[in-house]
Amino acid sequence: MSKPTPISGFPEWTPAQRMIEQFVLDRIRATFELYGFAPIETRSVEPLDQLLRKGETSKEVYVLRRLHADQEGATGDDALGLHFDLTVPFARYVLENAGKLQFPFRRYQIQKAWRGERPQEGRYREFLQADIDIVDRDTLPAHYEAEMPLVVGDALRSLPIPPVRIQVNNRKVCEGFYRGIGLTDPEAALRAVDKLDKIGPAKVAELLAETAGASEAQAKACLALAEISAPDGSFADAVRALGVSHPLLDEGIAELTEVVETAAAHSPGLCVADLRIARGLDYYTGTVYETQMIGYERFGSICSGGRYDNLVSAGGSTYPGVGISIGVSRLLGLLFGAGELSISRGVPTCVLVAVTNEHERPASNKIAEALRSRGIPTEVSPSAAKFGKQIRYAERRGIPYVWFPGVEGATDEVKDIRSGEQVPAAAGEWTPPRADLKPLIS
């Protein structure tokens, strides 16, 4: 077999990086659970027609075919595709299990998703996301929109990553404002404004004229709205100063005020109302979120979401929801790429038990057993080579301690191979310093 090569867009981490990823996932999960979100996983596949309900994403779907299935199966009604996010499968899960679930239903879901799009830095074909959503039957109180930033704020703050800023907007503010100035196609206007960062205000003004039929004054007003940004409720004054009024605008301002003020009470500086945030996807109807790492704004949003009222409905019931998704692979891929994350060793092992000679391996096994039974990750040396070689085995992996079984009734000894200090020890009692027990991430 010739040496295999990586497949573009399908990242694989080293064991050390995977340990960092697990640490990150454990922290995220712990925070989600502290807020009472229950876990689910959905299958990786959905019926293709369900995945294609949103035309936008159809080009990105991976379709599955069993190698020996007849061709019918691959394109017929029962065709399956890999999910491209966790929201669409979650919506389906809610409908499928509506009779068994308690509403409002708070769930988290940490899983891979797949998109066939062109890979770029931090943008993969296979990637891991960590989502929370709250859905209710028929109505969903707006206070849940204010809860999302608290949860991801706490989750992201628990990670060894730069501090974040969550940018929040509300579709109702934009739509109400656009209607208030007389635009009749607010979605077209939203799509145009969404391109602000990419193409700049002049081009957005042109686009507003072309696609949303905006006059020069209307385009100017849209751009003025998009420029508003404030870390607290003062954004509302800035909006009102533009002199536009519409009932939907008032509703949006009230909801957005609750989000930024709840966040400010919880952790000042976490959220800003940023009225240029639009999110491309059609299904958002209220609050929308994006998240930047401070100092790494060039990476774009690492955590996004929003409120959706019309994603899930069946049998006369609708299930409005709000959710937010941490792009774990994206986040880690970018930080690994920037050399920003490291770990103190590449194995979980804290102690290597040396083997005096192969006949004495059972004695080393016993020592390892005693250490493990007290929670100390331990390996037994691969061979009864000279101790120098056994120590090098530990050194190469960053294992901090080597344990020498006592021979002929002598006491065992344990050596910190970093300092060279060697002391008598008993496997039933010795405990490493807390900082050495598990690999440390920095």
Q: How far is the CB of 33 from a second copy (least distance, A)?
A: 4
Q: Which two tokens stand for residue 46?
A: 């959905």
With CA atoms as reference, report the closest residue to 128 among 8, 15, 44: 44
- Residue 131's DSSP bridge partners are 109, 325
C-beta of 63 vs 238, nearer to a second copy? 63
Q: State the Cα–Cα distance between residues 281 and 436, nearest whole angstrom.
A: 46
Q: Is 67 in the site for a second copy (CB under 8 A)?
A: yes
| Number of Cβ within a 10 Å radius of residue 234 | 13
Indicate whether 93 belongs to the interface with a second copy (CB under 8 A). yes
- Provide, rounded to whole angstroms, the least separation between the CB of residue 202 and a second copy: 33
Piece in contact with a second copy (CB under 8 A), picked from 78-86, 218-226, 333-341, 417-425 = 78-86
Residue from 24, 28, 40, 88 in contact with a second copy (CB under 8 A): 40
Rounded distance, CA 164 to CA 262, Å? 17
x/- mask, a second copy, residues 252-291, rule CB under 8 A, reads: ----------x--xx-------------------------
Q: How far is CA 16 from the centre of its chain?
A: 19
- Cα–Cα distance for residue pair 186/194, rounded to 1 Å: 12
Angle, vertex CA 155, rays to CA 253 and CA 27, nearest 5: 165
Question: What would the two tokens of residue 341 be?
Answer: 């994350």
The piece of 10-18, 195-203, 245-253, 331-339 that touches a second copy (CB under 8 A) is 10-18
Q: Is the peptide bond before 104 cis (omega within 30 degrees of 0)?
A: yes
Interface with a second copy includes 126 (CB under 8 A)?
yes
Assess 62 for contact with a second copy (CB under 8 A): yes
**66 contributes a contact to a second copy by CB under 8 A:** yes
* 348 near a second copy, judged by CB under 8 A: yes
Residue 437 annotated in ligand binding: no
The three-point CA angle 146-150-151 to 5° equals 115
Using CB under 8 A as the criterion, what x/- string covers residues 354-393 for binding a second copy? ----x--xx--xx--x--x--xxxxxx-xx----------
Q: If DSSP codes are grouped into helix, strand and coil, which group holds residue 230? A: strand
Q: Which residues ranging from 399 to 438 are in contact with a second copy (CB under 8 A)?
A: 399
Question: Which residues, listed in sequence order, are joined to residue 39 by a DSSP beta bridge?
Answer: 108
**Residue 393: closest CA among 422, 354, 424:** 354
Nearest Cα to 171, choosing from 55, 275, 291? 275
Q: Is 347 in the site for a second copy (CB under 8 A)?
A: yes
Site for a second copy in 296-325 (CB under 8 A): 312-315
Q: Is 31 annotated as a binding residue?
A: no
Give how many residues touch a second copy by CB under 8 A: 100
Query: Does residue 74 belong to the site contacting a second copy (CB under 8 A)?
Result: yes
Which residue's CB is nearer to a second copy, number 315 or number 420? Answer: 315
Phi, psi angles (nearest 5°) of residue 339: 65, 30
Annotated binding-site residue numbers for L-histidine: 85-87, 115, 129, 133, 279, 283-284
Annotated binding-site residue numbers: 85-87, 115, 129, 133, 279, 283-284
